[in-house]
Structure 1
Amino acid sequence: GGGLGGLYSSSAGDAAVDDESAASVGDAPDDESGDAASASGPLAGVARPHPRPRVVLISFGSYRLGVHRRDGDIDALALCPPHCTRADFFGSLVKMLKDDERVTELHPVPGAYTPVIKFYLSGVPIDLLFARLADGEKLRLPPLPPVPLEILGASEEGAEGETAPVPPSLGIAPREEFELDDANLVGLDEAGVRSLNGVRVAQRLLRLVPDLDTYRLTLRAVKEWALIRGLYSNVLGFLGGVNWAILVAWICVRNEGALAPVCLARFMRTFSRWKWPKPVMLGPIASSPPVPGVAPLSVWNPRANPRDAAQLMPIITPCYPSMNSSYNVGQPQLRRIQQELCRGEQIVNGIAAAGSGERGGGRKQRNAYEWEDLFAGKDFFRQHGHYLQVNIMARNAEDFRTWFGLCESRLRILIAGLESPEYGVQCYPFAKFFREKTLQAQGADGGGEDGGPHSHVTSFFVALRFAYGVENVDLRSCTEEFLYKVNAWDDRKWGMDLTIEHRTREHLPPFVFEEDDDDCSGSEMRKTDRKTTTATVQALRAAAEAEGTKAEDDRPDLSCASGDGGNKSGHASSLPTNPSPHKRARKNLPG
């Protein structure tokens, strides 16, 4: 969608696909009013004048921020007039989507913390939220001015000069979307406020950062780095899109005028040394309702709330009610994030040093770092001696989506249980799923009956390290309890299985070292796209050339690149590990 800006696409065609898919959602009929609901902004459908308030679709997340990936989902909010209810949203709209042949993998989740309808529309994944305004008059909006379809990369078969009310928002012109304000919170329940806050946070970030191009390139690079290095997943206890977006905004606000390579270097340096649990905040805590009529809601307050005080990596949302967006982060995940930030700091420092030498007329240093090194992966599976391989299996695609979603949401429990400082055990989870392609191919028809009981298999890995002197560790109680709880799920069907195996480095499956990783359907995990990475590297290299010479104080201190990853939080630091783990006995491990 808008914001692709040619970074990883040579044409507007990919952007048009997302815009057209999202536009179709805007054509959904409003059963209550008898009129057609139409969208605003880059999610615009075929807008028509409305005598009554209409439904407005507003994008948020990476799509709104302009850092949308080709394989990423579109986050959208359906902003509805007062006569629409959440029951209508999860009733008549879901029924209509079921009847639409373009819609696949429809998964309404009305009972979620933030109620959502998940589905694919013409192959594009969409997460659709619901909120209704107390004042429907604000939804009496005129349609946007028409834009020639060729701007969106329309096919040659389209009628010449045909127009549609979609703004030219392909990352070149600013987006035009319905703007929310604090008054829109009036009359909403807590779920409605949470639904609105995705849009409000995105709006706030776009207003705060001094240079959108710098912010977008820096954020794009950080997200790509986090994805490749196995750090991108809120569900698994790492950081998700909004967390990375807030961190990058914090850096950009404090480095006005700096281009993306400098902001990226300062991002790595700042947060590798950050004294967690000191919170990252873009402004004061918004603790009181911003306007009369808004319900008082609980906000992040570690002094008054012991649960908030126990959170390890607070990244606070900039809108009321101020909340910790990264409450899922655990000690193993924080350790890995810190260590990877130190590695990133070392690399960007080396790139800066090599660039300064070349500009000064010196010869390029031997083994100097390049931007590609920052986005190199796979070394995780060479860094440790022992791993646990968690296999999620099902007999067909539909069962797999359901079973995978359940297992993925429970893996944080396993990770927390494996972390045992009292027994000298540390775990290092890797936030990526790998499909076993040979088994997947056997059941490629998706039916399951001809592909055996496990035609869909995906694997997740956790590395294990042990303190000096530890000769025997029994992890069976932890793994067996986890397997029992998950496999005892009431809706589990035949063929839905979960297994845990112990692997040494020498016996890891070959697919973890392959270049192309398949993503898991229904997961926030996305596959590594080499085109996206290459385009990000090219954009960073061009920005670095434009930046010119680097200031001396941009060079990070490499002292934190070893040891415990710069952990200065006061929480459990890394245990001393044996440099030769294979020389020690390892008994009673799963598998």
Structure 2
Amino acid sequence: MKQPTKTNPKHYGITSPISMNLPEESELEQTQKLVQALKPFGVFEEDLELHRRFLVLAKLNTLVKEWIQEISRSKNIPTSLIDNIGGKICTFGSYRLGVHTKGADIDALCVAPCHVNRTDFFTTFYEMLKEQEEVKDLRAVEEAFVPAIKLCFDGIEIDILFARLALQIIPENLDLQKDSLLRNMDIQCIRSLNGCRVTDEILHLVPNIENFRLALSTIKLWAKRRNIYSNVLGFLGGVSWAMLVARTCQLYPNAPASTLVHKFFLVFSMWKWPVPVFLKQPVDCNLNLPVWDPRVTPSDRNHLMPIITPSYPQQNSTYNVSMSTRNVMVEEFKQGLVIMDEILQNKEDWSKLFEAPNFFQKYKHYIVLLASAPTEKQHLEWVGLVESKIRVLVGNLERNEFITLAHVNTQSFPGPKEDNKTPEFSTMWVIGVEFRNMEGSELLKVDLTNDIQSFTDTVYRQAASSKMNESEMKIAVMHVKRKRLQQLLPHLDLTKGLHAVKESMVDLSLDSDNTISMPSCPSPHINSSTGTSSSSDSQGETNTSGSTPSAAECLSDSTNPSGSSPRAHKRPGSPIHDENTKKHKYQEHSNANDDSVDVPMDKETNTPVLSSTCSASSQCSTGTSSSSDSQVETDTSESTHSAAACQSESKSSSPPRARKRSGSPLDEENAKKHKNQERRKVRTERRIRWWKPKEEECSVRFSEEDRQGLGGVEELLDDWETTAEVIRETARKVVE
């Protein structure tokens, strides 16, 4: 093995390296052990399969050249130019980086001259592909953020994007890294071209490509095993993980792969988010294209985990990250560091790093989301749309004042089968939920109606905008406790984790970052929320019929426009939330005709408990108790809460209120003062709950060591410090 020279003349990254140490013998041995540990997971593709991919790309490149020549003839291009007019296929993503796994798809870009337009690509080139015997599963996705043609060519899945350059001839040795190529290009072509530019730039910015590839393959496998590899669900995609590993390589340019993996966890478990990650100094090419800059663009300041692409126009590749997903990833970084310390001390094997978590034993409460459609084709489109909007549901749950974490599992599961003759295709996602401990609360009412309704409205609006007229596609949302998950996921051993059942359930081919949200059909709105109670050691779950619902019944047809309850217009926790709504949330329901059931909270733990089915016919607010981890009684009746029913609820658990006596001005004045005091108290508590974390999070100053180690841009760091100081001072004043 060739040893790198100690003097590294080229400077990588925006800061100087942390360490230039050459690898020791023990580190090289650990790297060999790492390679052996990766082989059982199918990380490395065999030479025969690599050659097959090369042949497929060569055939596709030939088809592109022939197609461009035909288009040129039809548009009266001089014959002398047609033979040399060019056109080519370029790869990007995991295949271009050299870290694709067995069975992974290929991301490709069709580069065409100026007289070939996007309409030609989706018509004549599409028809040419349809005539090829090797092509199967051909479909065009023109409405996507990055339009593409998706196909399976000789057994290999390929996503082809299109970019038209402002050139009359496309030479074979064309360098796509030239910023001048972006002139006079439309925004869709710039987005398509950006994939190739970012991938090539990453390879140019790492000191040792082989070490980078091995370290990146390790981190990608680890992220997939830990269920934090998904750009569309709010975690990180392939390009984002590649940039984090590339930054680690810049800080430790001579380190072997095993050491780079350890340093990766060390650096990013200590990273002070939202300090951005840069691979190079941002460059302005004066092309008036939007770039990521929180000093100019206010929305960029809301990004929680910015990782900035190195090519112009610089963009944040992690804009989907939410507070919950960031917290989950940071905890995984810290746990990965602990495991790596043990591995390097020879206390553990590398297989320990790739152990899958037991997601279904981690939380007490889960929200299950089911998307179903009558045909397989409709189901494929519907699932793509619903999955692309799950992060909206996570964001809604995060904004609920009683929820501290909403952790979505990146793996989806087949939905439960219904006992009817009509075939139905369904997919299910599971979200783990943590509730806030409410000290001093005898009773906690958690209303998720607005959170879930907002999510379903978003999905159906997107479906309607796609002009789909199918009405059989449905969404069902329900809350379950941990013990009930086995009914919904009978094929999994929930006590041992997902991957202990079937290793092949981990899709190692999820390497594409071009997640395309497919359009779907609108469907009647559903009103989904939760109404639950929890009693100590209670057995089973009850509904109005007195029988225990099956998993299929719990997630059955929830589209019932006529039975839908009225939509709520105010979100819990909103400053404009009226006093009556607050009372409904905290008061104990004792009316015998009311469908929701409330149980007092355990004073020792104060942990909210929540469970329900979420259907169109039941609008529910959640009464929860933190008594022993028991089965949950779930009300699935078709009755809905009315304003009169809520007004008639018992107020035994509410604080004493001043009573108004007719004809007594003094009592009226006292009652009014008491009411105003209560309102001010509630508003103050809500403001403190919101601002207190801001005071702690924003108490940050960047030392010189931080600036060198984190590698932030000087001006950006100063700007972050100023913003953080303003927020911190505001929070301090509010809390005081």
Question: Under a length normalisation based on structure 2, what TM-score does the superposition of the two structures give?
Answer: 0.58
Match of 1:500 among 453, 477, 480: 477
CA–CA separation in structure 1 for the residues paired with 2:234 and 2:86: 38
* Partner residue in 2 for 1:388: 367
* Partner residue in 2 for 1:408: 387
Q: Which string of whole-angstrom CA distances, capped at 9 and with x for unpartnered residues, describes residues 397-431 of structure 1?
A: 21121111111111111111111352244211122
2:435 corresponds to 1:466: yes
Mind listing any 5+ residue stretches in structure 2 that lack a counterpart? 1-37, 74-80, 493-497, 514-601, 615-633, 635-736
Contact persistence 1:233–1:239 (CA under 8 A): yes
Match of 2:426 among 430, 454, 457: 457
Match of 1:314 among 306, 317, 326: 306
Query: Following TM superposition, by how much is the alpha carbon of 1:580 offset from its aligned partner in structure 2, in angstroms?
Result: 9.8
Match of 1:475 among 424, 448, 453: 448
Query: Following TM superposition, by how much is the alpha carbon of 1:137 offset from its aligned partner in structure 2, in angstroms?
Result: 3.8
2:169 corresponds to 1:196: no
Q: Which amino acid aligns with 1:19?
A: F
Q: Which amino acid aligns with 1:468?
A: N
Query: Following TM superposition, by how much is the alpha carbon of 1:500 offset from its aligned partner in structure 2, in angstroms?
Result: 1.6
Distance 1:493 1:182, change over 3 A: same
Q: 1:62-77 alignment to 2 at 5 Å?
A: 62-77=94-109
CA–CA separation in structure 2 for the residues paired with 1:485 and 1:205: 36
Contact persistence 1:435–1:517 (CA under 8 A): no
Distance 1:31 1:339, change over 3 A: same
Contact persistence 2:53–2:156 (CA under 8 A): yes
Query: Following TM superposition, by how much is the alpha carbon of 1:584 offset from its aligned partner in structure 2, in angstroms?
Result: 5.3
Q: Which amino acid aligns with 1:405?
A: G
* Partner residue in 2 for 1:107: 139
Give the 3-state SS of the residue equivalent to 2:412 in structure 1: strand
Distance 1:270 1:517, change over 3 A: same
Query: Following TM superposition, by how much is the alpha carbon of 1:276 offset from its aligned partner in structure 2, in angstroms?
Result: 0.8
CA–CA separation in structure 1 for the residues paired with 2:270 and 2:138: 43
Query: Following TM superposition, by how much is the alpha carbon of 1:396 offset from its aligned partner in structure 2, in angstroms?
Result: 2.9
Q: Which amino acid aligns with 1:477?
A: N
Q: Which amino acid aligns with 1:256?
A: P
Contact persistence 1:487–1:497 (CA under 8 A): no
Q: Which string of whole-angstrom CA distances, capped at 9 and with x for unpartnered residues, describes residues 562-590 of structure 1?
A: xxxxxxxxxxxxxxxx9998975435674
Q: Which amino acid aligns with 1:33?
A: Q
Distance 1:352 1:134, change over 3 A: same
Give the 3-state SS of the residue equivalent to 2:382 in structure 1: helix
Contact persistence 2:224–2:506 (CA under 8 A): no
CA–CA separation in structure 1 for the residues paired with 2:428 and 2:512: 13
CA–CA separation in structure 2 for the residues paired with 1:374 and 1:451: 46
Contact persistence 1:458–1:520 (CA under 8 A): no
Query: Following TM superposition, by how much is the alpha carbon of 1:334 offset from its aligned partner in structure 2, in angstroms?
Result: 0.7
* Partner residue in 2 for 1:54: 86
Give the 3-state SS of the residue equivalent to 2:410 in structure 1: strand
Contact persistence 1:434–1:518 (CA under 8 A): no
Q: 1:424-439 alignment to 2 at 5 Å?
A: 424-436=403-415, 439=417
Distance 1:180 1:11, change over 3 A: same
CA–CA separation in structure 2 for the residues paired with 1:385 and 1:139: 60
The aligned length equals 462
CA–CA separation in structure 2 for the residues paired with 1:310 and 1:122: 44
Query: Following TM superposition, by how much is the alpha carbon of 1:10 offset from its aligned partner in structure 2, in angstroms?
Result: 7.2
Contact persistence 2:285–2:312 (CA under 8 A): yes
Query: Following TM superposition, by how much is the alpha carbon of 1:524 offset from its aligned partner in structure 2, in angstroms?
Result: 6.8
CA–CA separation in structure 1 for the residues paired with 2:382 and 2:45: 38
* Partner residue in 2 for 1:46: none
Contact persistence 1:433–1:519 (CA under 8 A): no
CA–CA separation in structure 1 for the residues paired with 2:275 and 2:45: 42
Query: Following TM superposition, by how much is the alpha carbon of 1:185 offset from its aligned partner in structure 2, in angstroms?
Result: 2.3
Give the 3-state SS of the residue equivalent to 1:325 in structure 2: coil
Question: Under a length normalisation based on structure 1, what TM-score does the superposition of the two structures give?
Answer: 0.71
* Partner residue in 2 for 1:17: 52
Distance 1:22 1:494, change over 3 A: farther
Query: Following TM superposition, by how much is the alpha carbon of 1:228 offset from its aligned partner in structure 2, in angstroms?
Result: 1.5
Contact persistence 1:426–1:464 (CA under 8 A): yes
Q: Which string of whole-angstrom CA distances, capped at 9 and with x for unpartnered residues, describes residues 72-99 of structure 1?
A: 2211111112221111112211222334
Deviates more, 1:177-186 or 1:263-272: 177-186
Give the 3-state SS of the residue equivalent to 1:501 in structure 2: strand
2:212 corresponds to 1:215: yes
Q: Which string of whole-angstrom CA distances, capped at 9 and with x for unpartnered residues, describes residues 423-446 of structure 1?
A: 24421112221235x859x9xxxx
Match of 1:120 among 134, 152, 169: 152
Query: Following TM superposition, by how much is the alpha carbon of 1:312 offset from its aligned partner in structure 2, in angstroms?
Result: 0.8
Give the 3-state SS of the residue equivalent to 1:472 in structure 2: strand
Match of 2:335 among 335, 340, 343: 343
Distance 1:424 1:182, change over 3 A: closer
Q: 1:266-277 alignment to 2 at 5 Å?
A: 266-277=263-274
2:261 corresponds to 1:264: yes
Q: Which string of whole-angstrom CA distances, capped at 9 and with x for unpartnered residues, describes residues 154-200 of structure 1?
A: xxxxxxxxxxxxxxxxxxxxxxx965423332332222222111111
Contact persistence 1:474–1:587 (CA under 8 A): no
Mind listing any 5+ residue stretches in structure 1 that lack a counterpart? 38-48, 142-176, 290-294, 356-367, 443-449, 527-577
Query: Following TM superposition, by how much is the alpha carbon of 1:316 offset from its aligned partner in structure 2, in angstroms?
Result: 0.5
Distance 1:99 1:384, change over 3 A: same
* Partner residue in 2 for 1:162: none
2:550 corresponds to 1:515: no
* Partner residue in 2 for 1:328: 320
Distance 1:248 1:585, change over 3 A: closer
Contact persistence 2:104–2:510 (CA under 8 A): no
* Partner residue in 1 for 2:401: 422
* Partner residue in 1 for 2:9: none
CA–CA separation in structure 1 for the residues paired with 2:469 and 2:483: 34
CA–CA separation in structure 1 for the residues paired with 2:491 and 2:59: 38
Q: Which amino acid aligns with 1:20?
A: L
Distance 1:334 1:504, change over 3 A: same
Q: Which string of whole-angstrom CA distances, capped at 9 and with x for unpartnered residues, describes residues 530-578 of structure 1?
A: xxxxxxxxxxxxxxxxxxxxxxxxxxxxxxxxxxxxxxxxxxxxxxxx9
Query: Following TM superposition, by how much is the alpha carbon of 1:203 offset from its aligned partner in structure 2, in angstroms?
Result: 1.0
Q: CA RMSD of the aligned region, Å?
A: 3.3
Distance 1:105 1:88, change over 3 A: same
Query: Following TM superposition, by how much is the alpha carbon of 1:336 offset from its aligned partner in structure 2, in angstroms?
Result: 0.9
CA–CA separation in structure 2 for the residues paired with 1:328 and 1:232: 12
Contact persistence 2:481–2:611 (CA under 8 A): no
Q: Which string of whole-angstrom CA distances, capped at 9 and with x for unpartnered residues, describes residues 380-405 of structure 1?
A: 22111111111222233211211111
Q: Which string of whole-angstrom CA distances, capped at 9 and with x for unpartnered residues, describes residues 497-525 of structure 1?
A: 22122222222224453324557999879
Contact persistence 1:473–1:587 (CA under 8 A): no
Distance 1:257 1:485, change over 3 A: closer
* Partner residue in 2 for 1:296: 288
* Partner residue in 2 for 1:33: 69
* Partner residue in 1 for 2:531: none
Give the 3-state SS of the residue equivalent to 1:422 in structure 2: coil
CA–CA separation in structure 1 for the residues paired with 2:506 and 2:371: 13
Contact persistence 1:427–1:464 (CA under 8 A): yes
Distance 1:130 1:581, change over 3 A: farther
Q: Which amino acid aligns with 1:273?
A: M
